């Protein structure tokens, strides 16, 4: 019996909970992304939803920066919610809910919806946006982050964006990993990652479709060393995105086999923060 893509992704997030939690505890660069998203706000929100809250890293950053807001963290993976609940002190007053945003029904209106590293993980963006639109108050804001692996500014950018450096950049770690996977019999001729690539135009069209305007509100450069990148690639959901046709366990075994004794250059990623609000008639 073949398992649906949605069920496969849901399973991958469940088994990613512990590795993701460990990774983000040891390499806190992810929290900078939530901080960047908050820094783009122009009003003080009172009812906040952290969609795709994972083990609660982003939700706890939100709590620190918005101490008086009513705060809900929502995630589809029960294992993520369990960790979030354990890792959050009761006095933080964060309510965590296990729910798939695209099928669930969260009914309280929110004046801020935060998607910190979660927007790009949802395949069906139309359904996601319809749900976010339904939850958002008339003057509310949706903020979300996109890595330069999933967002490519058009050649004539509509927003003042930091452009990723043109052309393919050397990536010795990925070269070593691909060589090891090939040695194990995996036919990687062209790497096709399991990621939808958004552009200025496709993003604008998505939001315009539900009466919203979206703009790039900030950027961040994240420098990740080899240890951090290896730890990230060990997360099953990440391995499955980068190598969709190879079991994540095999990617983990191949990472174990790499000789990383000689230092490799760190990798710089650009993270884009976007803010979407309703267009005034």
**Site for ligand SAM, rule CB under 6 A:** 13, 24, 30, 34, 52-54, 57-58, 74-77, 80, 100-102, 116-118, 121-122
In the complex, minimum distance from the CB of residue 241 to ligand SAM, in angstroms, rounded to a whole number:
10
In the complex, minimum distance from the CB of residue 159 to ligand SAM, in angstroms, rounded to a whole number:
22
In the complex, minimum distance from the CB of residue 236 to ligand SAM, in angstroms, rounded to a whole number:
11
d(CA 52, CA 34): 12
d(CA 151, CA 195): 10
Helix, strand, coil percentages, rounded to 5, for the chain: 40, 20, 35
- Residue 213 DSSP SS3: strand
The residue among 76 and 226 lying less far from ligand SAM, judged by its C-beta, is 76
Other beta carbons less than 10 A from residue 56's beta carbon? 26
The residue among 181 and 238 lying less far from ligand SAM, judged by its C-beta, is 238
In the complex, minimum distance from the CB of residue 125 to ligand SAM, in angstroms, rounded to a whole number:
11
Q: Are 129 and 100 in contact (CB under 8 A)?
A: no
In the complex, minimum distance from the CB of residue 90 to ligand SAM, in angstroms, rounded to a whole number:
21
The residue among 176 and 270 lying less far from ligand SAM, judged by its C-beta, is 270
Other beta carbons less than 10 A from residue 228's beta carbon? 17
In the complex, minimum distance from the CB of residue 4 to ligand SAM, in angstroms, rounded to a whole number:
13
Nearest-5° Cα angle at 236, 202 to 20 = 90
* Residues facing residue 216 across a β-bridge: 274
The residue among 31 and 47 lying less far from ligand SAM, judged by its C-beta, is 31
Residues counted in the chain:
281
The residue among 92 and 264 lying less far from ligand SAM, judged by its C-beta, is 92
Per-residue tokens: 140: 């509310």
Other beta carbons less than 10 A from residue 180's beta carbon? 19
The residue among 116 and 277 lying less far from ligand SAM, judged by its C-beta, is 116
């Amino acid at each position: 019996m073949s398992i649906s893509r949605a069920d496969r992704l849901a399973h991958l997030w469940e088994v990613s909970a512990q590795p993701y939690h460990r990774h983000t505890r040891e390499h806190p660069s992810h929290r900078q992304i939530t901080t960047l998203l908050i820094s783009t706000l122009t009003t003080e929100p009172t009812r906040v939803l952290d969609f795709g809250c994972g083990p609660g890293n982003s939700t706890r950053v939100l709590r620190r920066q918005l101490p008086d807001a009513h705060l809900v963290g929502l995630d589809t993976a029960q294992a993520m919610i369990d960790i979030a609940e354990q890792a959050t002190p009761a006095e933080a007053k964060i309510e965590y809910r296990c729910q798939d945003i695209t099928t669930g029904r969260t009914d309280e209106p929110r004046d801020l919806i935060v998607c910190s590293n979660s927007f790009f993980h949802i395949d069906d963006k139309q359904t996601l946006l319809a749900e976010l639109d339904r939850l958002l108050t008339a003057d509310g804001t949706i903020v979300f982050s996109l890595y330069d692996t999933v967002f490519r500014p058009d050649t004539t950018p509509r927003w003042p964006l930091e452009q990723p450096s043109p052309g393919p950049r050397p990536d010795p770690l990925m070269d070593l990993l691909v060589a090891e996977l090939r040695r194990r019999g995996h036919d990687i001729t062209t790497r096709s990652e399991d990621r939808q690539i958004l552009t200025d135009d496709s993003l604008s069209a998505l939001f315009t479709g539900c009466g919203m305007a979206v703009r790039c509100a900030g950027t961040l450069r994240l420098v990740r060393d080899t240890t951090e990148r290896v730890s990230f690639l060990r997360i099953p959901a990440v391995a499955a995105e980068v190598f969709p046709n190879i079991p994540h366990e095999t990617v983990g075994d191949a990472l174990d086999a790499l000789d990383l004794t000689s230092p490799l250059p760190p990798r710089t990623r650009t993270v884009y923060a976007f803010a979407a609000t309703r267009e005034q008639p």
